[in-house]
Structure 1
Amino acid sequence: MGDRSTREVHSEYSLLTSCSFPLTVRRGQSKAEEEESLMDCHWHPEAEWFFVMEGELLFQVDTECFRVAAGEAVFLDGGEVHAAYSISGTACAYCSIVFNPSMLTCSIPDLIEQTIVSPLQQRKRTFPRHVKGIHPWEQQIVHFIRLIMEADESKNTCYEAAIKGYLFLMLPILAADGCSVNRSQPQPAEQDKMLRLKQVIQHMQLHYTRTIRSAELAELVRMSEGQFCRFFKSMTRKTPIEYLNAYRVMRAAELLRGSSRKISDIAADVGFDHNSYFVRVFRKATGYSPTQFRKAAIGTSGE
């Protein structure tokens, strides 16, 4: 499928696909003719390495925004709200490695778990946010990220063992002086903002199949409707209805891929009252009509 649909439907809201190997590698790209969202604000309980393979993009973690260029990586602790945006006129390609740090623990707790893995899980000794590949230890991390990507792409026999090994090889870096940070105690004001945002987004995800108005969302976080809309736009770069519709489109795309049901039924199931409005919103988000998207998805799955 084309770049645009790959970009817009990419999502990490769902849990990891496998409990037996709790790690997922996803790739995305954008031609970026204009600035737009590559991944809407979201979070997940797992940790993540986000790596830019080509170009440059704008990355957001909680309330912080910064540029990430090719060859650079971002580390996310579980539960952190994050998003990615294209930069006008700059094409990019990126990869996310989402994993549960518990996969690095063992049945019999040892010194490694006590001194490195547990502090990583607790955010007391975690990886720096932005790894630019300048220092030798940063270059090591980028090297291991590339090896994980290669192993995942090859899917050779026991490739999972190789990936897990590369994650383990990153751990000694945390033990070196100046190569780790403590993010276990966030600023109260920032934490309050993120809790409010999460509360609203969770409400959208639970009730997206019905009509949701801004006033309802504002009441959840005890704000006036105007104050809430300004707050939400400042945090997500979208209005509440734009964000909600993007989530509905994502859910519709999943249904289009996995069923042969009528387009109008799918539109109604994800919260759109009018099929024509659904088609217009879906086309704007993905570059395809729902019918074209379904055909392209079927063609891709059959390759």
Structure 2
Amino acid sequence: MDLSIKTSLKENRLHGNEQFPLAAYWIDQNVVGAPILDCHWHSEMEFFFCMQGEVLFQVDTDYYVVKAGEAIFIDSGEIHTGHSHHNATCMYGAVVFDPQLLASAGYDVIQAEYVAPLFDRTRSFPRHIKPQSRWEKQLLDTLKNILSHCDQQDLGYELSIKSLLLHMLQTILPEGRHTNRSNRELHDHTKTIRLKKVISYIQTNYNHPLKISQIAEQIPMSDGQFCRFFKSMTRQTPIEYVNSYRIRRACELLLDPSNKISTVALDVGFDHMSYFVKVFRQQMNCTPSEYRKKMLVHSVEHTS
């Protein structure tokens, strides 16, 4: 199990491996009011399953309140983020996979009739999956089964997971169960493209001093206009997002005991140690040293 106290999915990582491009993540967010998933996107598809609490989930420009026992599907390239709803802590599991995992070696009937429509979004999974009908409950049960196989990783678990994903495709075949997302409104698409450009700039330059004006120039917008745009799209101010991203990167560096905490702070863009500790505590509900101890203990328990 890939478990974290609060580390969101990393956009530029390989989920799984080249032979089996799928990975599952379990995240327990115990800091009330903090984002549970920073705004990001990736080329893979993703199922997000809420196990506990409620999440206000954003996909591109749409918002969904996801309750325990419900799921969200994210298509390739879609910006998404999540915040705890009603100030509740939450726990969730995510399955991130390259759709090529389902592709056939040749252009057979499975590829042509069932997998290709998923690639071009003419027959995609419903966005918000709730346990309202028999077939939706079936999708959710299958998703929980996939998460269980990812956790246990018994011999041949890859076979089980691939067959379960294909079974989910079969479940949405009838009309009224799948969604055509091949056409997107130009206005919303333009806003999404702008946000992607800004986020890419932040993720490339987070370890250097960043001014609002520098980030706003990437679109371009005035400072005030940009701050309003960014907050409307992410529910975070640009500074909140930059700090959150820096803390995520710091969490990764802290897993290496040889990295000094003061060096980690500088490496992720914090000039002052006291401010780094303050922001870290706000987001992680512990100090950097406490976080390192917790994660190292967990690592020892997991490998023993």
TM-score strictly above 0.5 = yes
How many Å separate the matches in 2 of 1:178 and 1:103? 26
* TM-fit CA distance, 1:295: 1.4
The answer to whether the 8 Å contact 1:36/1:87 transfers is no
Deviates more, 1:10-19 or 1:221-230: 10-19
Match of 2:61 in 1: 63
1:61-115 deviation per Cα after TM superposition (whole angstroms, max 9, x unaligned): 1111121112211111011111111123434321111111110012112111111
Match of 2:115 in 1: 117
- 1:207-246 matches, within 5 Å, as 207-246=205-244
The normalised TM-score by structure 1 is: 0.94
What percent identity do the matched residue pairs reach? 43
Match of 1:6 in 2: 5
Match of 1:276 in 2: 274
How many Å separate the matches in 2 of 1:79 and 1:210? 26
How many Å separate the matches in 2 of 1:204 and 1:215? 12
The normalised TM-score by structure 2 is: 0.94
* TM-fit CA distance, 1:29: 2.4
Match of 2:73 in 1: 75
* TM-fit CA distance, 1:10: 2.6
* TM-fit CA distance, 1:194: 0.6
The answer to whether the 8 Å contact 1:116/1:174 transfers is no
1:198 pairs with 173, 196, 199, which one? Answer: 196
How many Å separate the matches in 2 of 1:28 and 1:268? 26
How many Å separate the matches in 2 of 1:141 and 1:154? 20
The answer to whether the 8 Å contact 2:249/2:268 transfers is yes
The answer to whether the 8 Å contact 2:65/2:85 transfers is no
* TM-fit CA distance, 1:174: 3.1
1:36-68 deviation per Cα after TM superposition (whole angstroms, max 9, x unaligned): 311011111100111112232211111111211
List structure 1 runs of 4+ shifted beyond 4 angstroms.
Answer: none
Match of 2:300 in 1: 302
SS in 2 for 1:18: coil
Residue 28 (structure 2) pairs with residue 29 (structure 1)? yes
The answer to whether the 8 Å contact 2:54/2:86 transfers is no
Name the aligned partner's letter for residue 94 of structure 1: Y
How many Å separate the matches in 2 of 1:12 and 1:253? 12
Distance 1:196 1:177, change over 3 A: same
How many Å separate the matches in 2 of 1:119 and 1:164? 17
SS in 1 for 2:201: helix
Match of 1:132 in 2: 130
Name the aligned partner's letter for residue 22 of structure 1: P
How many Å separate the matches in 1 of 2:45 and 2:10? 11
- For structure 2, the residue ranges without an aligned partner over 5 or more in a row are none
1:188 pairs with 169, 186, 192, which one? Answer: 186
Residue 286 (structure 2) pairs with residue 288 (structure 1)? yes
Name the aligned partner's letter for residue 223 of structure 2: E
* TM-fit CA distance, 1:259: 4.1
The answer to whether the 8 Å contact 1:52/1:70 transfers is yes
How many Å separate the matches in 1 of 2:294 and 2:195? 34
2:247 pairs with 249, 265, 268, which one? Answer: 249
* TM-fit CA distance, 1:287: 1.2
Name the aligned partner's letter for residue 63 of structure 1: T
* TM-fit CA distance, 1:31: 4.2
1:193-226 deviation per Cα after TM superposition (whole angstroms, max 9, x unaligned): 1111010000000111111111011111021110
The answer to whether the 8 Å contact 1:54/1:69 transfers is yes
How many Å separate the matches in 1 of 2:38 and 2:138? 30
1:229-255 deviation per Cα after TM superposition (whole angstroms, max 9, x unaligned): 111111111111110111111111101
Match of 1:46 in 2: 44
How many Å separate the matches in 2 of 1:101 and 1:158? 19
Q: What CA RMSD, in Å, does the superposition of the two structures yield over aligned residues? A: 1.6
Deviates more, 1:181-190 or 1:87-96: 87-96
The answer to whether the 8 Å contact 2:14/2:21 transfers is no
1:235-287 deviation per Cα after TM superposition (whole angstroms, max 9, x unaligned): 11111111011111111110110241211111111111111111111111111
The answer to whether the 8 Å contact 2:8/2:38 transfers is no
How many Å separate the matches in 2 of 1:70 and 1:274? 39
Deviates more, 1:18-27 or 1:186-195: 18-27
- For structure 1, the residue ranges without an aligned partner over 5 or more in a row are none
The answer to whether the 8 Å contact 1:128/1:181 transfers is yes
* TM-fit CA distance, 1:11: 2.3
How many Å separate the matches in 1 of 2:280 and 2:34? 15
How many Å separate the matches in 1 of 2:270 and 2:88? 33
